[in-house]
Structure 1
Amino acid sequence: MLVNTIALQEAKASTAIENIFTTEDALYKAVSDTVQEDKANGATKEVLRYREAMWAGYQLIKDGNKIDLESLIGIFRQIKNTSSGLRSPASLTVIQRGQSEFRSGEVIYTPPRGAGVLEKLIDNLLIYLNDDQQYPTDPLLKMCFSHYQFEAIHPFPDGNGRTGRILNLLYLVHSGLLYQPVLYLSKYIIVNKDDYYYNLGIVTQRGSWKPWILYMLEAVEKTSQLTSQLIESILAQMEATLIHAKQLIKWYTKEVNELLFSQPYIKPKLIGDQLNITSRTTLTKYFVDLVDAKILSPVKEGKELFYVNDDLIRILES
């Protein structure tokens, strides 16, 4: 339950770094059921693909016990909804200043290119990440070095920033510093976005590593505190809701409580499947109980009826 909610926030923030924006309302509706997901706009689908890419990469790394090229390509393909892989040796890819920046359109970096060049550089990066005996660097420092290296290699036609940020979390899982990829790291980066790109740039331009490393280490520290606070707030609210609900609703269980905190927008089918309820009348009565107890709030949009966990939304958006 916690993994689902925090991973969703990470996905939203990471895509926003790339100037892909969706509203919380649209995102929560899309998560609530497949019909809403199919109807979602492009930005919302990008966020959902990021979350799925993170979990697909997590599973690949857990199964293979290493970070390999297949995992990276799988993450990229999920993010971009494509079947392509590493960019072509002939691709004249360049990094330019954004339209809102001074001297917009100016080329500020040209990633490496040529036959076999990307494969060689990625292989070198993956050996560094996986071989702790030959490269016994502290895992947090390894993450700092490898994130810069991945972005400098720029191995894919698009989606390198998002793939690289997923790689950060998956490497921390692989190294044993995280049990699951639930660090809300992109929140710090988007709040300090200019510093992120500036510190990346001065490594390339001046070989100045210290500001970049300090930036990334502070990002991990601040994000760890933020994520811990988020988890503690959700757990505390879950416990308070469970105590309140069990005093008023006979059928309410711990499992139902966890479901109501698995996503902000709830469709009746979610509870029906948990409690094996097939009767629409019974399920309607149960949701009346939840609304009367002020655990959920009904929200109607056209013919669709959603039930909103306002307490969970308050915590996620604070």
Structure 2
Amino acid sequence: MDIIMSKYDRNKPFNGLPALPPSGSIEEEAALLKKLVTASRALATVNANVQCLPNPDMLVNTIALQEAKTSTEIENIFTTEDELYKAVSDTAREERANPATKEVLKYREALWTGYRQLADSSSITLDLVVGIFQQIKESRSGIRPPQSQVVIRQGDSEFRTGEIVYTPPRGEGVVEGLMNNMLEYLDDDQKYPADPLLKMCIAHYQFEAIHPFQDGNGRTGRILNLLYLVHKGLLARPVLYLSKYIIVNKTDYYYNLGAVTQRGSWKEWVLYMLDAVERTSIFTNQLINEIADQMKATLDHGKKHIKWYTKEVNDVLFYQPYIRAKTIGDAAGVTSRTTLTKYMDELGQAKILTPRREGAEVYYVNDELIRILAR
């Protein structure tokens, strides 16, 4: 359903951006309701699987890290799996990581900081959103000032590079007013009684259209999506790998965003986002199942071939793909360097971990976990 919009000029601030909720009967569209049912079912399956894991937080360095990496790639910030896994495994390595890797790690930390803060809050507040942005950008700035001449331009690899494609709203109190409206729409289910998934789809467009910060809006908005699903009880942990769908279908993502701005084409946008939730849920569910199955297979294999092998050690191996010997030692209760060296050799002989030397440093690689995450 297209909604008639006020005349739009991409070279002028879009101060005519309508407040939420959208006008019209978008929530009654038959195609949207049908897609909402299948997306909700798929998401519920992921949530059930997450909660069945012995320690759901183990996904922080697996699926959530993949989400962080892919979300930053949408902003054309790239790092290698190798650099990322090394940085995660070692605090010292993280401190000297390249800038792109640090960007990914800041996204992951912002996601989990927001998740912890939301647990102590009854709603998603503007302060929470600003805090996410500040952690992503390592900045103390907040909502962009009214005089800021921020515009969105075509990327370097696109036709008509540098051309303005969108100018977000600006002016005294304009951005703050739109953000407060969006957050009220998300929070007040009595005044705005829409399904949470529909609200997430609608609010994600609104956030990107408001473009409240000078930079980092895309990453902040994608974190907000996951935190809202957690806040509404649709996810136990923010581990939905939503950015994978967006980057694979990046052209459609930006086209549908623009269609809402230019023509009020909400139906196509919401269908796109619901399809993203459904397909991402199916994919994330497969990852969780494969990780859980591999954990069990590795535990059985380890107990068969290594007499000291325990579930605690096995769990540690699936917290992250690259592991330091000390991490294994802590899990096994080993303090002797000689004993730990023997243990690491046994893990290598059993083909549970593969040693990888880089200068004076040795990383132990869980190749099976990397295989799963590389899908």
- TM-score after normalising by structure 1: 0.99
1:192 CA drift (Å): 0.4
> Alpha-carbon deviations, 1:110-159, whole Å to 9, x = none?
11111111111111111111111111101111001000000000001100
Aligned length in residues: 318
In structure 2, what is the equivalent of residue 101 of structure 1?
Answer: 158
**Mapping 1:95-134, distance limit 5 Å:** 95-134=152-191
Please give the secondary structure, in 1, of the residue aligned with 2:147.
coil
Please give the secondary structure, in 1, of the residue aligned with 2:62.
helix
CA distance in 1, matches of 2:213, 2:367: 40
1:286 CA drift (Å): 0.7
Percentage identity across paired residues of the two chains = 70
State whether structure 2 residue 305 is matched by structure 1 residue 257. Answer: no
1:94 CA drift (Å): 0.7
1:99 CA drift (Å): 1.8
In structure 1, what is the equivalent of residue 333 of structure 2?
Answer: 276
In structure 1, what is the equivalent of residue 301 of structure 2?
Answer: 244
State whether structure 2 residue 213 is matched by structure 1 residue 156. Answer: yes
State whether structure 2 residue 104 is matched by structure 1 residue 50. Answer: no
CA distance in 2, matches of 1:75, 1:270: 29
In structure 1, what is the equivalent of residue 65 of structure 2?
Answer: 8
Picking from 296, 299, 302, the partner of 2:356 is 299
1:275 CA drift (Å): 2.7
In structure 1, what is the equivalent of residue 236 of structure 2?
Answer: 179
Please give the secondary structure, in 1, of the residue aligned with 2:364.
strand
CA distance in 1, matches of 2:157, 2:351: 45
In structure 1, what is the equivalent of residue 51 of structure 2?
Answer: none
1:301 CA drift (Å): 0.6
Structure 2 letter corresponding to 1:166: I
CA distance in 1, matches of 2:328, 2:157: 47
Task: Give unpaired runs (5+ residues) of structure 1.
Answer: none
Picking from 82, 91, 97, the partner of 2:139 is 82
In structure 1, what is the equivalent of residue 23 of structure 2?
Answer: none
In structure 2, what is the equivalent of residue 206 of structure 1?
Answer: 263
CA distance in 2, matches of 1:168, 1:311: 30
**Mapping 1:218-237, distance limit 5 Å:** 218-237=275-294
Greater mean alpha carbon deviation, residues 111-120 or residues 10-19: 111-120
CA distance in 2, matches of 1:132, 1:271: 47
Judge conservation of contact 2:312–2:332 (CA < 8 Å) in 1: no
In structure 1, what is the equivalent of residue 247 of structure 2?
Answer: 190
Structure 2 letter corresponding to 1:292: Q
1:271 CA drift (Å): 1.4
CA distance in 1, matches of 2:103, 2:316: 25
> Alpha-carbon deviations, 1:18-74, whole Å to 9, x = none?
000000000000000111101210000000000000001111111112100111011
Structure 1 letter corresponding to 2:312: E
Please give the secondary structure, in 1, of the residue aligned with 2:150.
coil
Please give the secondary structure, in 2, of the residue aligned with 1:133.
coil
Greater mean alpha carbon deviation, residues 275-284 or residues 238-247: 275-284
CA distance in 1, matches of 2:323, 2:280: 28
Structure 1 letter corresponding to 2:116: Q
In structure 2, what is the equivalent of residue 40 of structure 1?
Answer: 97
Task: Give unpaired runs (5+ residues) of structure 2.
Answer: 1-57
> Alpha-carbon deviations, 1:69-112, whole Å to 9, x = none?
11101100110111111111110111111122111111111111
In structure 1, what is the equivalent of residue 226 of structure 2?
Answer: 169
- Asked which structure has the greater RCO (Cα within 8 Å, sep 6+), the reply is 2
CA distance in 2, matches of 1:97, 1:21: 19
CA distance in 1, matches of 2:337, 2:244: 41
